[in-house]
Amino acid sequence: MAEETLFEIDRRGFLKLGGAAALATTLPAVLIEAGAEPGDTRKIKEGRKVPTICPYCAVGCGMLVTVVDGKVVDVEGDPQHPINEGALCSKGNAYLQLINSERRLKYPMKRTNPKKGVDQDPGWQRITWDEAFSTIAKKVADIFKSVYEKSVKHQDGYYWVGKDSPIALWGSAYFNNEECYLEKKLMSILGSLNVEHQARLCHASTVPALANTFGFGAQTNHPVDLKNAKCIMIIGSNAAEQHPIVFRWVQRAREAGAKLISLDPRFTRSSSWADIYLPFRPGSETAIYLGMIRYAIENNLVDKKFLESRTNAPYSFDGLEVGLDDPRSVFSKLKQLVEPYTPEEVSRITGIPKEKFEEICRVYTTTRPGSILYSMGTTQHTNATYAIRAMAILQLVLGNVGKPGAQIGALRGISNVQGSTDMNILSHLIMGYRVPPRSPKDVREYQKWKNDKAGYEKKLKDNGYWAYWRWGPARMFPTWEWLEQYWGVYIGTYPGVDPDNEPVISDIPIGVGYPTVQMYRAIKDGKIKVLFNFAGNNAVSLANAAHNVHETFTNSDLFMVCYEIFETETAHFADLLLPGTVQVERSGSVTNTGRWVQWRWKAVDPPGECMDELTFLTELFRRIRTELKKEGVLLPSELFEKEMDVKLNRAKNPVSGAVGVDANWPTSFEPTGTPEAVYKEIAHTNALYRFPGPGKRFSAYDLETAPELDGIMAKRRDPTPADEYDRQYGLFKNWGWSWMTNQRNLYDLNEPPEDKNRVRGFFVWWAHSPEPLDKPGGAWLGLDKAAIWAGGPTGLYDPSKPDWHPLKHGMPLHNEPVESPVPELAAKYPTVWDERFPVKKGRPEEFPVVLTTFRVTEHMQAGAMTRNLPWLVELHPEMFVEMDRELAGELNVKSGDSVRVTTARGSIEVKAIVTDRLKPLNVNGRKLHVVAMPWHWGFKGLSTGPIANNITIDAVDLHGNIPETKVCLCRVEKVS
């Protein structure tokens, strides 16, 4: 259906198309009463109304953009959208100012001042797009020429080693899915795995924790499902301020009688609505969850039926089903591990009074179904993976998974950070959370599989390698084959008859690239020469930013290309600054925090010479590729063909018949050069979208279900229920699409299947020993069982570790932050972090106060999309630090006074707010003060201020490589 036809029909027809005509008779009564009924709520009656999705946080709120004479004149909440029902937060309401901002970049520019630094004027000079692309292509080609031969030619074949690439990309969760996909495709074909984006800094710890417990590293239910909860615990999140529309659904639950528990170092707006509020010490969440598990077990409140039927709790470590109470069982081991976490010990670690801790244990464990909401307050710690694992195990013990009202609510913070992660803009993954070949040996095995798929599988299974097959080749090899078909790359050996003894050839890079903190260290060391920085602002958002980012950019010979809508703090250091577009100036799909894939329709053309992301990425690759070929820099397979004078048997695109990389760039699907075409390719290459296959009911691309939308399921705008289960619980399964196969609540066995092949249960693997996966008997497979004990290839089990280490047991334990304020606790619960990368650490004698960071409603992450908007700057104009009254009294500080906050990494000066929102804690028998500051500010924009992350610690979690920006030690002094 053409876009103009969709949006230029009259209002009645538009609402009917969206299914609103039936809304009043089909939605649950709780929604009707809360204002979701159809009605003429629009402010402006004239102009073209174009639906879009909010560009700020990841809740996925619908908007209606009003266009008159080619200009956006109004933005309002979409009253028919099932998530926000016409409501918007302060950021969403200010979107009009973002679209029409005179501060936006409008023309390509180059730096004329060779000096870089915070205090240096870049001397921007306007250039043409042709000059910009030519400059980039020549620079990339020159750098490649210097390393090409040693990068591609190896003793055992021709292939890229992904980490060795001199080119890196910092991608963006603000991009649509199709643009994120092309970012990954572009860098893969250029041979680099040095690809990262905001997910590394927000929910990187969520993925290993949840994926290795349930099967997928994602929020289990959408926030709209909170209305079905009887008890909600918010910890590590302040949903009322960071995700206000999520909190509307919390309020629905409260209105229906649900209990709300808030645990937060600060008394927040979320806390003000809670039945129980408890402050705790930042970084001690794991002890809270382990103590709650202990309480449930001790008081016989566990869901035994659920544990026995849906988890590995009743199994022994050698794979035998022995029963929950058998001393050999996983459950018995869990009981042993949580036994030390008594209410007294949890109180000693966290600062929560014993009686109050017992109260939340009683309320949460006896009121079901229960949901837990968390965000970066939990994820940004060195012990975050273990904290989230403990949270997940608590939910399993209580049976609070796989049903309405029971969820792990991993609230994402950027509109498409779930989708960008699904497109795998990360240094260790390829499409659909698969991995690229880790070594040439993997490519040899893949060639064997290609030669005889059925025989390869049978041989492995017959010889006892079932677990290796299930976790390795069965997951990875089909994806690599899809990349050969739809990207036009070559992966295999030549000639393919004896893979163990033939040259390995791979056009997709092998190995693992640099995660974010290590990427910046690689830039500083001169290993990375070119950085594409697309809509990201690590000069504000990365831990220890002054050292890792500002100094690195100032002192290195890095060539950086920034593609942005404003001149950000990071863009200030760029060599080329290129103007991008805002979301209403292009079309594409976006995936919200609850995995709903929705469509954004283009409303207007961008201003000036701003180039949309799809066009930019398409042309960027073409220009680089042309220049590389001119300089003799070929793909590994092309170089092999040239030097060996042979012709490889390349895969043909099954849909278009195209062969080779150039014929498949950006995609050979129709309509040419559109986001719809790229969406279709994603549905053929990404396992999340493809299962059970494109065009099959109920995949992301489904011609049978949505022929009028050309099979683009994300375009569906029908709020009517799909079935009685949907009607009862309000899942909105006819609105957009969600992976897998449109399942709205992951792991829910009662949700009626759209397709008989749908994955409905847990999808996780566990092994009973650390032996290599390719050793018979070295592993056993748990199908449809959640993993309380996580062994095998998860990376969460290593029996060689000491007893205090969580990896020793394959289950979480409490570990102290890198900068623990209590030496006695640090001795008993040693820190677990990635110690390969040294950091500056402070000691409590010198830095006696705990520092944490937070966000405010009016500002977005690193600030570019809000600190440039007058409305939001007026609402929240400057940076500050909050402190409790007792600490302020000791320092003789009043609200409005300037204070210096110092850590082992540096100092910043900010204004103080003396508040009752913070109270001293009693931790291990002594008084402990916590101060808190927002981290949105920097030195660019309408509102400027000190960068909080200049002084946070850059130690990273062992499994997610996420920095510990939520807790460190500091000293606070009054500035006279």
Mind giving me the DSSP string for 142-161? Answer: HHHHHHHHHHHEETTEEEEE
- Give per-residue pLDDT as tens, 678-697: 999 999 999 999 877 777 77
Among 205, 178, 282, which Cα is nearest to 666's? Answer: 178
Among 966, 975, 742, which Cα is nearest to 266's? Answer: 966
- Give per-residue pLDDT as tens, 759-783: 567 766 554 443 443 344 444 455 6
d(CA 227, CA 244): 15
Q: What are phi and psi of 35, to 5 degrees?
A: 105, 20
pLDDT band at 976 (very low <50, low <70, confident <90, very high): confident
**Burial class (CB within 10 angstroms; exposed 0-12, middle 13-18, buried 19+) of 45:** exposed
- Give per-residue pLDDT as tens, 598-623: 999 999 999 999 999 999 999 999 99
In whole angstroms, how far apart are CA 922 and each of 205, 851, 919? Answer: 28, 16, 10
pLDDT band at 52 (very low <50, low <70, confident <90, very high): very high
Average predicted confidence (pLDDT) for the chain? 91
- Position of tokens 């645990």? 263
**What residue ranges define each of the domains in the chain, with the CATH number in brackets?**
3-88 (2.20.25.90), 109-202+422-581+614-664 (3.40.50.740), 206-417 (3.40.228.10), 823-974 (2.40.40.20)
- Give per-residue pLDDT as tens, 567-586: 999 999 999 999 999 999 99
Buried b (16+ CB within 10 A) or exposed e, 565-578: bbbbbbbbbbbbbb
Percent of the chain with pLDDT over 70: 91
Would strands 880-883 and 906-914 be described as parallel, antiparallel, or unpaired?
parallel
Supply 501's token pair: 């003894």
pLDDT on residue 146 = 87
pLDDT on residue 755 = 58
Mean pLDDT of 932-954: 97
Element holding 531 (H helix, E strand): strand 530-534
Q: Which residues pair with 775 in a beta bridge?
A: none
- Position of tokens 């509109």? 415
pLDDT on residue 962 = 96
Q: Does residue 37 have a pLDDT over 50?
A: no
pLDDT on residue 464 = 64
Mean pLDDT is lowest, of 165-169, 695-699, 811-815, for 695-699
pLDDT on residue 778 = 42
- Positive or negative, the Cα torsion across 741, 744, 748, 750? negative
pLDDT on residue 766 = 52
d(CA 583, CA 601): 9
Higher pLDDT pick, 150 / 488: 488
The 8-class DSSP code of residue 606 comes to P
pLDDT on residue 698 = 81
Mean pLDDT of 352-365: 98
Among 171, 195, 129, which Cα is nearest to 534's? Answer: 171
Q: Does residue 157 have a pLDDT over 50?
A: yes
pLDDT on residue 473 = 79
d(CA 252, CA 257): 9
Higher pLDDT pick, 889 / 785: 889
Q: Does residue 65 have a pLDDT over 90?
A: yes
pLDDT on residue 949 = 98
Q: Does residue 41 have a pLDDT over 70?
A: no
- Give per-residue pLDDT as tens, 821-861: 999 999 999 999 988 888 999 999 999 999 999 999 999 99
pLDDT on residue 760 = 65
- Give per-residue pLDDT as tens, 700-744: 999 888 999 999 999 999 999 999 999 999 999 999 999 988 999
pLDDT on residue 801 = 92
Mean pLDDT of 631-657: 96
pTM: 0.93
pLDDT band at 521 (very low <50, low <70, confident <90, very high): very high
- Give per-residue pLDDT as tens, 205-214: 999 999 989 9
Among 225, 55, 10, 13, which Cα is nearest to 717's? Answer: 13
pLDDT on residue 774 = 38
- Give per-residue pLDDT as tens, 176-217: 999 999 999 999 999 999 999 999 999 999 999 999 899 899
Higher pLDDT pick, 894 / 764: 894
pLDDT on residue 408 = 97
Mean pLDDT is lowest, of 84-98, 238-252, 451-465, 646-660, for 451-465
pLDDT band at 797 (very low <50, low <70, confident <90, very high): confident
3-state secondary structure of 570: coil
Mean pLDDT is lowest, of 258-262, 451-455, 591-595, for 451-455
Q: Residues with Cβ < 8 Å from 33, sequence gap 6 or more?
A: none
Cβ neighbours around 188 below 10 Å, total: 23
pLDDT on residue 471 = 66
pLDDT on residue 529 = 97
Q: Does residue 17 have a pLDDT over 80?
A: no
Cβ neighbours around 63 below 10 Å, total: 25
pLDDT on residue 316 = 85
pLDDT on residue 466 = 61
